[in-house]
Amino acid sequence: MKKTARKASARKASARKASARKASARKASARNAVSVSMADGSAYVIAHGLLSSKNAKIEKTNELDEYYVTGLSLAPAHTSGFEVCKGASDGCRKACLFTAGQGRFENVQTARIAKTRLFFQDRATFKRMLFDDIRKAQRTARKRGLPLAIRLNVLSDLPWERIFPDLFDAFPDVQFYDYTKVAGRQTPSNYHLTFSRSESNQAQAERELAAGRNVTVVFRSKVLPLKWLGAPVVSGDSSDLRFKDPSGHVIGLYAKGRALTDASGFVVDTAIGCGAN
């Protein structure tokens, strides 16, 4: 009887501690909550930070247990009322994955729009929240025994090396990475960029490949060609760790969502195994 009573007492004590931790987390969340002015004049409260791993590609990558990956999902192009995709083509904007996966839910879209508006309305608060989230991600990565990788532009294309240049020195052990349609960006050693081809930047994509850099290309077929423009093609769908790709390669991505019906040239139709196209 005494042993049973001790077990019951221990369970109650454990439950009280868990409840206290949850209450503490709720209070901390409330303290860090930030109000954002939305386009319709309403206020939206950001209570859970900026970074998230709830993205299909990132989740798939995290299953590999090579890195702990998280990312910043802002609202793309001009959907927030502010432009965050300077180099986006018409085809890119129409094929954007903003409404794919979790993005099909209105609450997710609204949260992304709110984060983007915060970036433009209160840059200092945005920066503080971003740095805090990176520190939290570092703790999660350490618990998992993995290095940390962060994709700053999951749906946007902002020049973070110019916006927050101190970010990369503040977190030298974090591998930052992105896709971009803006050529010529000069980034720190821990910020890797992969050029992204569209129907309007084909010539630049060819120059990037000629210089030995990587280029992502969206193909209509799930079966990728062996080569494209003479460069070997590797799949970019099995992992999002673009900084691990071999140099001078085309990173093939399979068209998804609205991109499947693209007719602008953003999505490439090519013969299997072609040496040039």
2 Cβ contact list (under 8 Å, min separation 6): none
Mean pLDDT confidence for 175-202: 96
102 or 56: whose pLDDT is higher? 56
Q: Shortest CA distance to 88 belongs to which of 138, 141, 156? A: 156
Unique residue bearing structure tokens 């280029």: 215
Residue 18: which pLDDT band, with cuts at 50, 70 and 90?
Answer: very low
Q: Shortest CA distance to 51 belongs to which of 72, 20, 32? A: 72
> Is 20 part of a structural domain of the chain?
no
Quote the CA–CA distance of 25 and 140 in Å, as a whole number. 16
If one counts the domains in the chain, the total is 1
- Amino acid at residue number 274: C
220 Cβ contact list (under 8 Å, min separation 6): 255, 260, 262, 267, 268, 269
The pLDDT of residue 28: 41
> Is 55 part of a structural domain of the chain?
yes
Q: Shortest CA distance to 175 belongs to which of 188, 158, 156, 166? A: 188
**Residue 81: pLDDT over 60:** yes
The pLDDT of residue 11: 66
Residue range(s) defining the domain that contains residue 165: 39-261
| Percent of the chain residues topping a pLDDT of 70 | 83
> Is 11 part of a structural domain of the chain?
no
CB 72 within 8 A of CB 151: yes
**Residue 5: pLDDT over 80:** no
The pLDDT of residue 102: 57
> Is 9 part of a structural domain of the chain?
no
The pLDDT of residue 23: 41
The pLDDT of residue 260: 82
Residue 233: which pLDDT band, with cuts at 50, 70 and 90?
Answer: very high
Quote the CA–CA distance of 96 and 24 in Å, as a whole number. 39
- Residue 145's alpha-carbon distances to 66, 112, 142, in angstroms, are 10, 30, 5
Quickly count helices (H) and strands (E) in the chain: 8, 11
Q: At what angle do helices 123-144 and 106-121 cross, to 10 degrees?
A: 120
- Amino acid at residue number 193: L
160 Cβ contact list (under 8 Å, min separation 6): 152, 153, 167, 176, 178, 191
Mean pLDDT confidence for 68-74: 97
Element (H, E) at 143: helix 123-144
Residue 192, token pair as written in the block: 């890797």
> Is 49 part of a structural domain of the chain?
yes
Quote the CA–CA distance of 160 and 41 in Å, as a whole number. 28
Which pTM value belongs to this model?
Answer: 0.84
- Amino acid at residue number 254: Y
The pLDDT of residue 17: 47
**Residue 267: pLDDT over 70:** yes
> Is 129 part of a structural domain of the chain?
yes
The pLDDT of residue 175: 98
To the nearest whole number, what is the mean pLDDT of the chain?
87
> Is 268 part of a structural domain of the chain?
no
Quote the CA–CA distance of 69 and 82 in Å, as a whole number. 27
The pLDDT of residue 270: 75
Assign 3-state DSSP to the chain and report helix, strand, coil percentages, each to 5. Answer: 40, 20, 40
> Is 29 part of a structural domain of the chain?
no
21 or 215: whose pLDDT is higher? 215
Mean pLDDT confidence for 23-44: 73
222 or 103: whose pLDDT is higher? 222
Question: How many Cβ atoms sit within 10 Å of the Cβ of residue 260?
Answer: 11
pLDDT tens track for 128-182: 999 999 999 999 999 999 999 999 999 999 999 999 999 999 999 999 999 999 9
Q: Shortest CA distance to 61 belongs to which of 244, 192, 225? A: 244
Strand, coil or helix: 125: helix
pLDDT tens track for 110-141: 999 999 999 999 999 999 999 999 999 999 99
